[in-house]
């Protein structure tokens, strides 16, 4: 019932146009009860958010104990991002397995939209049918009996095995050392989330999309930068919350240095731009960037403040 209502509600939304879409299935030829790994990768504009709502896997099913459908987002640079969805299904009752159609929810500067990912039939492999094949190569006869192995001396077996283990441990230790050094270099060069937010605000100010009639798009990106920073600062998923849920989380977590009343007013104004299609002026866009920069500088971790003082 919930799935049917969700599909009916999404029927009126416009279809999204991602930059690229890739769906992979492993295995392509399935048997009854076998787990099927499905991976869907969507490359899209970095200002858009893709999500997978509740769906009906019929004629397949979600196996008991299998991991729940999960997603991850990868920033590709140049204004692009990739969202990857991974889910596990199984065939328990049909000889004609088929991947179900999936409906992805899309939100961004152009408002709520949807992306329909068409399913496709899978090949079915019957172990019962293979058992009845006349060919000895195709028939299933169960495990083969053990074959006796003649060993002249177990001493040489132990010596060679010990030598192999020693060599493997030596190379493993060298590889772990290289990986650790590489990880230290990556950690040292990786920017912190507050620095990254300030860099995105500087880039938004420099690009000035409102001068090209894209003031609403600028406010969408500004809201995403602030939400992403506060979500990383306070360890909660701010990008997927409504404005009311977002403000409620900030009330509950109480971040020192945050002018919550001013932020609430800014969120209400941004909602008018995003949902009432209010076109902001250049001065309003610049004022919003100033407020965001001040918010980050007054609430960033002590690590950033101490580093700046040093």
Asked if residue 5 has pLDDT above 60, the reply is no
Q: Quickly tell me which residue has 């690009």 as its tokens.
A: 207
Q: 108-141: b or e for each residue (b if 16 or more CB lie within 10 Å)?
A: bbbeebbbebebeebebeeeeeeeeeeeeeeeee
Whole-structure pTM value: 0.41
> What is the SS3 assignment for 73?
strand
Predicted confidence band of residue 164 (pLDDT cuts 50, 70, 90): confident
CATH architecture of the domain formed by 2-129: Sandwich (2.60)
Q: 6-45: b or e for each residue (b if 16 or more CB lie within 10 Å)?
A: beeebeeeeebebeeeebebeeeebebeeebebebbbbbb
Q: Is-contact 115 15, C-beta < 8 A?
A: yes
Predicted confidence band of residue 103 (pLDDT cuts 50, 70, 90): confident
Q: Is-contact 141 130, C-beta < 8 A?
A: no
In the predicted model, what is the mean pLDDT of residues 263-284? Answer: 92
Peptide bond into 27 cis (omega under 30): yes
Task: Give the span between the Cα atoms of 248 and 47, in whole angstroms.
Answer: 24
| Higher-scoring residue by pLDDT: 162, 11 | 162
DSSP H helices, the chain, are: 2-10, 127-131, 154-189, 193-207, 215-234, 243-253, 260-275, 282-299, 302-309
Task: Give the span between the Cα atoms of 291 and 199, in whole angstroms.
Answer: 15
In the predicted model, what is the mean pLDDT of residues 5-15? Answer: 64
Among 27-31, 57-61, 122-126, 300-304, the range scoring the smallest mean pLDDT is 300-304
Predicted confidence band of residue 172 (pLDDT cuts 50, 70, 90): confident
In the predicted model, what is the mean pLDDT of residues 142-164? Answer: 67
Average pLDDT value over all residues in the chain: 83
In the structure encoding, which two tokens stand for residue 42, read together? 């969507």
Q: Tell me, what's the pLDDT at 184? A: 56
Q: Tell me, what's the pLDDT at 188? A: 47
Q: Is-contact 92 32, C-beta < 8 A?
A: yes
Asked if residue 208 has pLDDT above 90, the reply is yes
Highest-scoring range by mean pLDDT, 1-5, 74-78, 198-202: 198-202
Residues above pLDDT 70, as percent of the chain: 81
In the predicted model, what is the mean pLDDT of residues 76-80? Answer: 91
Q: Tell me, what's the pLDDT at 147? A: 62
Q: Is-contact 44 81, C-beta < 8 A?
A: yes
Q: Tell me, what's the pLDDT at 161? A: 80
H-helix or E-strand containing 26?
strand 20-26
In the predicted model, what is the mean pLDDT of residues 123-129? Answer: 74
In the predicted model, what is the mean pLDDT of residues 293-301? Answer: 93
C-alpha of 247 from chain center: 24
**CA-wise closest residue to 219 among 289, 160, 149:** 289
Q: Tell me, what's the pLDDT at 182? A: 63
Q: Tell me, what's the pLDDT at 2? A: 45
Task: Give the span between the Cα atoms of 84 and 27, in whole angstroms.
Answer: 18
- The string of pLDDT tens digits covering residues 59-72 is 888 888 888 888 99
Domain with CATH 2.60.40.10 in the chain: 2-129
In the predicted model, what is the mean pLDDT of residues 206-217? Answer: 94
- The string of pLDDT tens digits covering residues 189-203 is 557 899 999 999 999
């Amino acid at each position: 019932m919930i799935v049917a209502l969700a599909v009916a509600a999404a029927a009126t939304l416009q279809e999204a146009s991602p930059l690229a879409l890739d769906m992979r299935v492993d295995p392509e030829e399935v048997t009854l009860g076998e787990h099927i790994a499905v991976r869907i990768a969507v490359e899209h504009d970095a200002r858009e958010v893709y999500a997978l709502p509740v769906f009906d896997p019929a004629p397949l099913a979600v196996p008991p104990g299998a991991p729940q459908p999960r997603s991850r987002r990868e920033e590709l640079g140049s204004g692009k991002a990739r969202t990857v969805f991974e889910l596990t299904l199984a065939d328990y009752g049909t000889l004609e397995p088929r991947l179900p159609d999936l409906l992805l929810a899309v939100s961004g500067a152009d408002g709520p939209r949807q992306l329909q990912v068409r399913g496709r039939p899978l090949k079915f492999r019957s172990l019962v049918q293979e058992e009845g094949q006349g060919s000895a190569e195709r028939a299933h006869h169960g495990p083969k009996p053990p074959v006796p192995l003649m060993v002249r001396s177990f001493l040489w077996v132990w010596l060679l095995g010990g030598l192999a283990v020693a060599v493997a441990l030596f190379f493993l230790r060298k590889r772990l050392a290289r990986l650790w050094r590489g990880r230290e270099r990556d950690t040292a060069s990786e920017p912190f989330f507050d620095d990254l937010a300030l860099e995105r605000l500087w880039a938004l100010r420099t690009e000035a999309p409102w001068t090209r009639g894209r003031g609403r798009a600028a406010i969408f990106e500004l809201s995403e930068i602030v939400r992403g920073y506060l979500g990383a600062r306070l360890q909660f998923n701010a990008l997927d919350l409504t404005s009311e849920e977002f403000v409620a989380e900030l009330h509950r977590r109480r971040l020192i240095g945050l002018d919550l009343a001013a932020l609430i007013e800014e969120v209400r104004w941004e909602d008018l731009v995003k949902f009432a299609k209010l076109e902001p002026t250049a001065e309003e866009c610049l004022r919003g960037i100033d407020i965001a920069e001040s918010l980050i500088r007054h609430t960033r971790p002590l690590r950033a403040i101490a580093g700046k003082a040093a």
